[in-house]
Structure 1
Amino acid sequence: MKRVNIFYGGRQYSLSDREIGELQAEIAAGIASAQPAWLEVNVGEGRYQPAHLLLTPGVDLVLVPIEGE
């Protein structure tokens, strides 16, 4: 998989070289955790600029897999 676009709080973020199932499992574990969990992502699609998204129950989060060419 080339990239996963992530929509969180009305903004777009991305992750490269991640499998969608692996990412879904990481997010589910973070939400189920008793401790705050953060997902490190890239802001947009260009040069890596890290952002940390707080994973909580009820968070508006969408994953869109982008296949490689």
Structure 2
Amino acid sequence: MKRTAITYGGSRYTIPNEDVASVQARITEGLRNEPWFWLEVNHGDGRATPARLLVSPATPVAVISERDTDQQDEGSSVARYILPDELRPVSDEMGPADS
């Protein structure tokens, strides 16, 4: 199941079954039509509680793509996110004990 995380006012919210591109499109369209709008999200872990966030052009909102825990993609090493190409290990299997 894909879901998108939203940070708003220092809190974390989620939108299930929607990717980042569609959430961004909804926000863009909402602000194009009105000076502000309500974005429906879920709040909390486990049993989520429905919530609405008031979004305006001055609202800082972060839209974050979350990956499924069962979903593995090639090169899933953490090194690909934090290390420049020239410092990445040759093998994804290489760990601290192997260096």
Residue 59 and residue 36 in structure 1: after superposition, are their counterparts in 2 closer, same or farther (change >3 A)?
A: closer
Q: Secondary structure at the match of 1:21?
A: helix
Contact 1:4/1:15 (<8 A) preserved: yes
User: Structure 1 residues 32, 25: closer, same or farther in 2, change over 3 A?
Assistant: same
- Structure whose CA Rg is larger: 2
Aligned alpha-carbon RMSD (Å)? 1.5
Q: TM-score, normalised by structure 2?
A: 0.62
Q: Compare relative contact order (CA 8 Å, sep 6+) and give the higher one, 1 or 2.
A: 1
Q: Which amino acid in the other structure matches residue 22 of structure 1?
A: S
**Cross-structure match for 2:37:** 37
Contact residue 38 and residue 54 of structure 2 kept, 8 A: yes
Alpha carbons 1:14, 1:45 under 8 Å: kept = no
| Identity, % of aligned positions | 36
SS of 1:22's partner is helix
Letter in structure 2 aligned against 1:19: D
Contact 2:5–2:64 (8 Å) recurs in 1: yes
More strand by share: 1
Higher share in helix: 2
How far did 1:35 drift? 5.5
Query: Is the alpha carbon distance of 1:45 and 1:4 closer, same or farther for their aligned partners in structure 2, counting shifts above 3 Å?
Result: farther
Q: Secondary structure of the equivalent of 2:34? A: coil
Distance in structure 2 (CA, Å) of the matches to 1:17 and 1:34: 25
Deviations 1:17-63 (A, max 9, x none): 10211110001111222364111100033212111001101101001
Under a length normalisation based on structure 1, what TM-score does the superposition of the two structures give?
0.85
Deviates more, 1:45-54 or 1:29-38: 29-38
Q: Which ranges in structure 2 are unaligned for 5 or more consecutive residues?
A: 71-99
